[in-house]
Structure 1
Amino acid sequence: MIYNRTPLILIVDDSALNRQVLTLLLKKAGYLTVEAGSGEECRKLAREHKPDLVLLDIMMPKEDGFTTCIKLKSDPQTREIPIIFISALDDTENIVKGLEVGGVDYIVKPFSQPEVLARVKVHLSLKFAQEKLIESQAQKLADIKQVQKSFLVLPEELPEAKFYYLYKPVLELGGDFLDVIPVGENSFAYIVADISGHDLGTAYLISALKALFNQNINAFTPMEDSLRMINAVLRRIFKEGQYLTANVALIERNKLKLSIFNTGHLPAILSKKNGEILEINGEGDILGGFEHFQVQEEVIVVEKGDRVFLFTDGLIEKFRGPGRQRKEGLNLLKRNIAKFNKFDLDEVVRRVVNSLCSGQNKSEDDVILLATEV
């Protein structure tokens, strides 16, 4: 197996003899190692050295291996490090628990040296393959040399997604982005995003963003993991100070379930069939801004006939003339949604945009309003 660098493995066991045996075995196989005699020391070294893999004993004083694993997985700096448990506990209950708390594998003591090496090789291969995938996607997107027109998804192409939008870019190709992606039977992800800064340079990224979101958002990958992958790629292609805010609404119509994943973007607006207007805020880091990306899922039970609205700040903010601040614009948007919600979805979108953008000969910022009905 060929790596771009020599893998570093953190060995964690309260027995110095066990650590020595594993260290000699792994060094002979060509790996670098670092040792920890406790869970607390393991977590400290993991943050300092960022190992490629952790071999973790379970039965240790003060803090057992299960607890250590849970703490590693809850720390943004160490959550992505794969963990293999090595323990004398060979019952099914402990093996299952090890996998449930975040371990990728479980080796029972006394172990055979070929087995340890084989499993280490497998999980290092998976880790490096993931890193290679990120590098590959980043390189493909970074190689885009010409502005390409973003192929906006059309409502008639996905009639079962029940959506309509208006997109008014300041430039021929704007810095705002939208898409609708099928993610399962009668389930769709609706995306509205805004790249920091609005000049022709940001327009170069729009078609690339469409490819990136479509490559990573699917029916089989949890949305949090998809957004983490997108964040990792964007960190490699964005220039310093550039980032992306986004609001992703995942609607599973068969379950009447709405999930909102907000990465530093404006809230979503939920217009209930009974006339109630709800503002759905979510917590999440901007995309492309931080190495250790986090986002929180907001889950709402919906009914048939409920409508969800996603938008960018160009719709609600005005800086010329009398101006309009974000809070005022947000309240105005909600009042207009309530006022026009008796109309069909396409007509609601048109009337709301016309109302909020009236009196503007030219948009000050890109404007997107996307609406969908459950």
Structure 2
Amino acid sequence: MEQQLGRILVVDDEVVNVTVLRGILRQAGYEVLSAANGPASRALATAERPDMILLDVMMPGESGFEVCKKLKEDPSTAHVPIIFVTSLSDVSQKLTGLELGAVDYITKPFFAPEVVARVRSHMDFQRRQGDIIQEQASRLGQIQAAQRALLVRPEQLPGARFAVHFVPVLEAGGDFYEVVDFGQGRAAYFLADVSGHDLGASFITSSLKALFHQHAAPDRHPVETLKAMNRILCAITPEELYLTAVHLYVDRARGTYALSVAGHPPVLACRAAEPVSFIDLPGSPLGLFEAVDFASVEGRLNPGDRFYLYTDGLADGVNGGLATSPAFRAQLAETCTRNATAPLPESVRRIVTELVGESALGDDVVLLGVEA
């Protein structure tokens, strides 16, 4: 019975108050833990993970307000609802507690039905909130699975000679890539970074896939493809949503490539017998302005040449966290050079691992490697 209703931590330096509250709460079916001061209560909260904390305001050493502030700053206890226990009638004191993150007050002397009603109300709310979060997590998992299903895998298009490493920061991310193999050594590659990391960013990815397949073609320059996509995105996306993108077209039979960029980080080129170099082109993001032009570059290809397309999340693990920073460019160039002789899939994996490592990501990460 006790375990089913929940576990409550009572924090009060007065033994009689702890005894009274323990009796009231146990009678109502709750398990009760207790602590007599701030440090002990914080240690107990971290170790036992109570479902709720009843916290006295006036205590020697750390006041209840100080304890509350520290509990809310600790990620392991920040979610636990706190109800202050006080004899204070000063409204400003109550407001202070609520501003610190408490959910309610219980006044002394205790009136048992009121204590149980307030505890039960907030406990039920917390439980319902947990159910909602679990339901949303389940739905996000379904969205993530659907989003992943949209992404083409290298083994599906072996003739396109690409490898990819994709690390979404949330269950549903805003980064997207697509590859179209036209056959006879011709392939088109598209990488985009949608503004934001929320569901709104992830929902546009299905549209991007359809748009790229509709407009990319062997006889169409990347600039024209981006222009066509931009006109449609301006019409279908809200004003606050836009995306940076890069479009690479490779013709291995002719030994040529064409590249165009829409406000995206530069492409890293790793060519045989040449130092690595960045192809940095100006360009406006997609979805902002209908009348816009995109810079482009064309060049020759040699067997073994590689291009690395990436989103700016790759820079998060590097000092500064900016894809345009000299520090990031230098480290990316060095990492690519060091892994230039590894098979492309292994090279892509190593580059992401060495740059991002185990750091907490603040943005989605995609690295798309293409080999001539």
Whether TM-score is above 0.5 comes out as yes
1:314 matched to 2:329: no
Superposition RMSD in Å: 1.8
Aligned to 1:363: 361
Q: Which residue of the partner structure matches residue 278 of structure 2?
A: 279
Q: Which has the larger radius of gyration?
A: 2
Identity %: 35
How far does the alpha carbon of each residue in 1:157-186 deviate from its partner, in whole angstroms, 9 at most, with x for none? 111111100000112221011011124531
Moved over 4 A (4+): none
Conservation of the 8 A alpha-carbon contact between 1:271 and 1:277: yes
Q: How does 1:204-219 map to 2 (within 5 A)?
A: 204-219=203-218
- Per-residue deviation, 1:309: 0.4
Q: Matches of 1:351 and 1:266 in 2, distance apart?
A: 20
In structure 2, distance between residues paired with 1:232 and 1:285: 13
The letter for the 2-side match of 1:169 is: P
How many residues align? The count is 226
Deviation for aligned residue 1:323: 4.3
| Alignment match, 2:239 | 240
Gap regions ≥5 residues in structure 2:
1-141
Does the 8 Å CA contact 1:261/1:296 hold for their aligned counterparts?
yes
Q: Secondary structure at the residue paired with 1:350?
A: helix
| Alignment match, 1:230 | 229
The structure-2 alpha-carbon separation of the partners of 1:197 and 1:233, relative to structure 1 and needing over 3 Å to count, comes to same
- Separation in structure 2 between the aligned mates of residue 163 and residue 233 of structure 1, nearest angstrom: 28
* Change over 3 Å in CA distance of 1:265–1:275 after alignment to 2: same
Distance (whole Å) between structure 2 residues aligned to residue 325 and residue 297 of structure 1: 23
1:31 aligns to what? none
Render the CA deviation track for 1:287-344: whole Å, top value 9, x for unaligned. 111110211220121211111100000001348xx64443121221111000111111
- CA offsets per residue over residues 263-294 of structure 1, 9 Å max, x none? 11011111011152011112322111111021
Q: Aligned partners of 1:289, 1:251: CA distance in 2, in Å?
A: 28
Tell me the residue number matched to 1:346: 345
Matched residue type, 1:268: V
Q: In structure 1, what is the equivalent of residue 253 of structure 2?
A: 254
Residue identity matched to 2:348? V
Distance 1:297 1:201, change over 3 A: same
Return the alpha-carbon distance in structure 1 between the equivalents of residues 176 and 236 of structure 2.
17
Q: Is the 8 A contact 1:317 1:329 kept in 2?
A: no
The gaps in structure 1 that reach 5 residues or longer are: 1-145
Amino acid across the alignment from 1:248: H
- Partner of 2:147, secondary structure, is coil
Paired residue for 1:98? none
What TM-score does the superposition give when structure 2 sets the normalisation length?
A: 0.58
Name the CA shift for 1:226/1:184 in 2 (closer, same or farther; >3 Å).
farther
**Alpha carbons 2:317, 2:355 under 8 Å: kept:** no
TM-score, scaled relative to structure 1: 0.58
Q: Distance in 2 between matches of 1:274 and 1:238?
A: 44
- 1:289 & 1:356 partners in 2: Cα distance? 31
